[in-house]
Amino acid sequence: MEHKVRVGKYRWTIIALLFFATTINYMDRQIIGILAPTLEKEIGWNEMEYASIVLAFQAAYALGLLLVGRLVDRIGTKKGYAASLTGWSLAAAGHALASTVMGFSIARFFLGLFEAGNFPAAVKTVAEWFPKKERAFATGIFNAGSNVGAIVAPLAVPWIALTWGWQEAFIITGLIGLVWLIFWNIYYEKPEKQKRLSKEELEYIQSDPPDPQEAIPWLSLMKHKQVWAFALAKFLTDPVWWFYLYWIPKFLYKNYNITLDKIGLPLIIIYVMADVGSVGGGWLSSFFIKRGWGVNKGRKAAMLICAILVTPIVFVSQTDNLWVAVALLSLATAAHQGWSANLFTTASDVFPRKAIGSVVGFGGMAGAIGGMLIATAAGFILQLTGSYLILFIIAGSMYLISFAIYNFMIPTLEEVKLV
């Protein structure tokens, strides 16, 4: 513990920047879900049309992750993150100009394209600024920003929309991101260039064996089963989070008549617990590893625990009690975020820093494609049956299936030698 104090704490300033960027990222993407019942009445879309708006975001997000992850590896995190956040802030504010399903679809497309830069840049930044034994915890902290964004949105958006209008909700929240850029430009540099960083902390950050510095071709990455295992895990489990993000407000409205002026508290509870899961899940595997477990055993034990904790969500559509539903949704979102923090960290466990943006981007693209499928399925199932039962059964089963496949494909987490 004394060693940690002695080496310095500037790396946690970097995590704070990532945390706030991720908060803004999720606040901007979640507004459409919160305003969906209101816009459904005002614009007049049905379940399938709403699904098509969500699908536009997912398609662009998939494309963006493939391109932006690679771009971040090429131009670096400082420039890549700044460009991404500027683009998504302007796209988020641009929703105010939409008045049709097509207009919202276009706005969502550009939002998804630029928001795709957040996680490849953030995970790569963690790999640059933290030794492996701290990465899952650090990832859990910045990933918790996704839930804070999902908390701030139901607090702020209904009040803004009811006071001034839904257009102003998009404009005000969208432009907040430009403030973050000021702090990013002031405080961020790579560790070896950061003058505020002590020599002792730099040595601690770089205590792992050095990575290869040469560029890594795409084809070299695609030859490794670890890339495909990571992508498949994202493909199976990311869509569940997308479903929660865009359909929980509509589920609460349909099943419990929770309208815009009352939606805040249930969503706040759900996403506060998701925050607990994100930080707790990252802490759990780091705790196991610091207790002497290997990286493979520590990460996978935490992932399995999270996968099991998701399963009770299959019962949520069958309860008439709002707060039982909120409790089940809270457990599932917490477990998802704990799973996600550890899954992200496995990319930095097995790949060198130069490849992480590309690997996370490729995996995120797979997750976004899965999100496109769940958006289409949700629109079709709800339009046809009016019931959420099938969707929650899917949500509850994906993690154990994903864990089994991931563990089969990668029995042991070990560093990949890229040639």
Per-residue confidence of the chain (419 residues) as pLDDT tens digits? 334 446 778 989 999 999 999 999 988 888 888 888 788 888 888 878 888 888 899 889 888 887 776 788 788 889 999 999 999 999 999 999 988 889 999 999 999 999 988 988 898 899 888 887 788 788 878 878 877 887 788 788 888 888 898 889 899 988 888 899 999 999 998 888 888 888 888 888 888 766 555 556 667 778 889 999 999 999 999 999 989 988 888 898 888 888 767 777 888 889 889 888 988 988 899 889 888 888 899 999 999 999 999 999 999 989 999 999 999 999 999 999 999 989 988 888 888 777 777 788 788 889 988 988 988 898 889 988 988 999 999 999 999 999 999 999 999 888 777 65
Can you tell me the distance from the alpha carbon of 353 to that of 117, in angstroms, rounded to the nearest whole number? 16
Q: 3-class SS at 293?
A: coil
Element housing 255 (H / E)? helix 225-256
- Six token digits for residue 6: 């002695």
- Contact (Cβ atoms closer than 8 angstroms) between residue 345 and residue 136: yes
Give the up-direction half-sphere exposure of residue 57: CA atoms within 13 A in the CB hemisphere.
29
The DSSP code sequence of 10-74 is HHHHHHHHHHHHHHHHHHHHHHHHHHHHHHHHHH---HHHHHHHHHHHHHHHHHHHHHHHHHHHH
End-to-end CA distance of the chain: 38
**Count of CB atoms within 10 A of residue 168's CB?**
13
**Residue 96 to residues 35, 51, 54, 168: CA-CA distances in angstroms?**
12, 19, 17, 7
Give the pLDDT score at 90: 94
Give the pLDDT score at 218: 63
Give the pLDDT score at 4: 45
- Contact (Cβ atoms closer than 8 angstroms) between residue 349 and residue 292: no
**Residue 189 to residues 82, 129, 134, 195: CA-CA distances in angstroms?**
12, 10, 19, 9
Give the pLDDT score at 2: 39
- Six token digits for residue 139: 């990832």
Overall size of the chain counted in residues: 419
Can you tell me the distance from the alpha carbon of 137 to that of 42, in angstroms, rounded to the nearest whole number? 43
- Contact (Cβ atoms closer than 8 angstroms) between residue 147 and residue 333: yes
Can you tell me the distance from the alpha carbon of 308 to that of 335, in angstroms, rounded to the nearest whole number? 8
pTM of the model: 0.75
Q: Which fold has domain 2-207+216-409?
A: Growth Hormone; Chain: A; (1.20.1250)
Q: 3-class SS at 114?
A: helix
Can you tell me the distance from the alpha carbon of 340 to that of 360, in angstroms, rounded to the nearest whole number? 12
Give the pLDDT score at 124: 85
Q: Is 112 left (phi over 0), alpha (psi -120 to 50) or beta?
A: alpha
Can you tell me the distance from the alpha carbon of 15 to that of 11, in angstroms, rounded to the nearest whole number? 7
- Contact (Cβ atoms closer than 8 angstroms) between residue 309 and residue 396: no
Q: What is the DSSP letter of 291?
A: T
**Count of CB atoms within 10 A of residue 344's CB?**
26
